[in-house]
Structure 1
Amino acid sequence: GDEIDWSKLGSGGWAIPSIAEDIQFKKVKADFILYVEKNAIWERLNEDKVWKDLNCILIATQGQATRGARRLISRMSNELDLPVYVFTDADPYGWYIYSVIKYGSMALAHTSSKLSTPNARFVGMTMEDITDHGLEKHTIKLKPQDIKRAKEMMSYPWFQSKDWQNELKLAIDKGYKAELEALSKHGIEYISEKYIPQKLKKKEFLD
């Protein structure tokens, strides 16, 4: 089969196949995996060479992670013992994306063990990030379906921790959300040079 060096793929990256079982990992030097909800943010992080500066593997699938991506992340986590950090919008949809990577989707419960990554940690964005990074003027009002989803998620078994209950309640109470792009108000390299490195250094994760 083909041998691919992920560090030499340039701006386009590598398209994750729908079936990830045949991929063999010959040599991996990365310290962790960073999953990003949006391609545009992935492109920015790739352009800033975050994968090189932080020695990580950058993955994005534009929204909900595909089965192929989730299987690849699960395999790398298990077989290579790599930590996994998830970076999404500060909204119920983004947090749900994180939960699907960590626990698998309810629709595919029968295959969830192969598609889940129990050691995944949520790096952001959080409601606290919105205030900590001065993004209040860059928020978007929650739609009724966002509030409905947040209330449903509060009853899910995997969102029962005190931190996640507080996060979801805060979103409902505040009535707003923020997209990853809001962080760029501090400059286009802010996510790469400040936000992600600081979060990792301080180990500010939701679990």
Structure 2
Amino acid sequence: MRVVIAEDSVLLREGLVRLLADAGVETVATVGDGPGLLGIVQEHRPDLAIVDVRMPPSFTDEGLRAALAVREAVPGTPILVLSQYVEERYATDLIGGGAEGVGYLLKERVADVAEFIDAVRRIAAGGTVIDAEVIGQLLGRRRGGDPLRDLTPREREVLGLMAQGLSNGEIARDLVVTEGAVEKHISSIFMKLDLQPAQGGHRRVMAVLAYLGHRES
């Protein structure tokens, strides 16, 4: 497996390179800022890009914007975002384009080397790894037990396709139903998951997060 790393902390960057090498994963290039990420991805076409959210010059969302640019310019590139804290807009923007080949982990998880390497391999293979703390905070920890318990089998099926990044029209074609039927299922999913219209376009992402959290539990 070949990876690239965008991380401004030299210590963490070199630590990641060493951890990956010990697991047989080759780091083909590293950069210390967001803008450099797109260039090394286009040059090396890695199996995975590991990206810090906050990097120079403003230390706000450079890494996220770089990751989104990579997903647009080189579709299908698996991305693992590392963040110091849970930040809602970063997770929702990242997952909004489809959850396949996407990871969002808190940096403290790197300390569990086996778990981190497992996440790296799963994301590179097209899987999804979202930190449980991220899911818990984004969903407000307001639902106990199974958040999908009230969904019908068809609604769970629709939600699973949403998690793959499919549009309503694509879901309709996949299930051989009308787009109107899909819209009704999605409205019912939002209602049962207590996702309010005031949450706007984030409702779809929040529903996917609930699905991912259920799947990982």
Interval containing the TM-score (normalised by the shorter chain): 0.3 to 0.5
Q: Which has the larger radius of gyration?
A: 2
Q: TM-score, normalised by structure 1?
A: 0.41
TM norm structure 2: 0.39
Structure having greater relative contact order (Cα 8 Å, sep ≥ 6) = 1
